[in-house]
Amino acid sequence: MLKAITRAVSRAILNCELTHLERIPIDLENARRQHQAYEEALRLLGVEVVSLPEEPDLPDSVFVEDTAILLDECALLTRPGADSRKPEVESIARALAPYRSLHQVQSPGSVDGGDVLLVGKSIWVGLTTRSNQSAIDQMQEFLKPYGYSVRGVPVHGCLHLKSAVTQAAENTLLINPAWVEKSDFPGMEFIEIDPSEPSAANVLLVGETAVYQPAYPKTLQRLEKAGIHPVLVDASELAKAEGALTCCSLLFQTEV
């Protein structure tokens, strides 16, 4: 069974962390409606959604992806790069404990889950303002017994690695080549985003189904031309907080 852990949009999201975007007003009620539609889209795809309550004092807490890295064998609890986000991990650890053994990235390591791209046994970690080499070294040590390869990837111009590249199909990545180099992903095939839509590289793969935003119609055409026909979910309000579709859930397989 495929499960997803999500968390309701915090009333404090207006005070979210921002790195590359100018702060503009966020409509809280619209953000919550869009998030609920996102959860419903997951349910329609056969996902059991475990929706955690709002964290009213943690502005970015809807972006649960940043708190953990879910693998079949275990879960790695992250140490988020922004101090304001470190308290988010505790409640996610409690939610994951029934399903996975837990490891914790320790200081001086820092890593956001949005910087972690997993394809098979290959893990790429963005070297950004939020994630560093110490965390990569710890991940390599944690995951060595399970046969994963972990490597760092330079990222330019965006917050997270998965702002620049995500998995769109089994062996295919959707990529903004201005923000990350194709050569860092050997053996993969690529669909490039339309250059007029620089933030369009974030697609959520749920089983074999892609979930995508309608905000990027030119890149959507490129996906469809490649034979990928996504389910469309609007996350435009959360995009004002530098969020995207992958940010809002922790997806994992479980037997119960």
Cα Rg of the chain, angstroms: 17
Query: 26 and 35 in contact (C-beta within 8 Å)?
Result: no
Active site residue 160: yes
- Look at the domain 2-253 and name its fold: L-arginine/glycine Amidinotransferase; Chain A (3.75.10)
Distances (CA, A) of 146 to 42, 142, 235, 254: 29, 9, 35, 18
Neighbour tally for 219: CB within 10 Å: 25
Query: Is the pLDDT score of 111 beyond 90?
Result: yes
Using pLDDT thresholds of 50, 70 and 90, give the confidence band for residue 255: confident
Q: 97 near 70, Cβ under 8 Å?
A: no
Per-residue pLDDT band at 21 (split at 50, 70, 90) = confident
The pLDDT mean for the chain works out to 96
Q: Which of 7-21, 131-145, 215-229 has the lowest mean pLDDT?
A: 7-21
Of the residues 16, 35, 103, 247, only one is catalytic, namely: 247
Which of 35, 103, 158, 160 is the catalytic position? 160
pLDDT exceeds cutoff 90 at 160: yes
Q: Which of 13-17, 36-40, 69-73, 211-215 has the lowest mean pLDDT?
A: 13-17
Half-sphere exposure (Cβ direction) of 194: Cα atoms closer than 13 Å: 13
The β-bridge relationship of strands 172-175 and 165-169 is antiparallel
Q: Is 247 a catalytic residue?
A: yes
Say which DSSP state 65 is in. G
- Which single residue is written with the structure tokens 């189904």? 209
Residue 169: strand pairing partners: 172
Tokens in use for 202?
């974030």
Is 90 exceeded by the pLDDT of residue 22?
no
| pLDDT for 158 | 94
Per domain, the residue ranges of the chain are 2-253
Q: Is the pLDDT of residue 234 over 90?
A: yes
**φ, ψ of residue 31 in degrees (nearest 5):** -60, -40
Shortest CA distance to 172 belongs to which of 237, 119, 229? Answer: 119
Average the pLDDT over 204-215 and give the result.
97
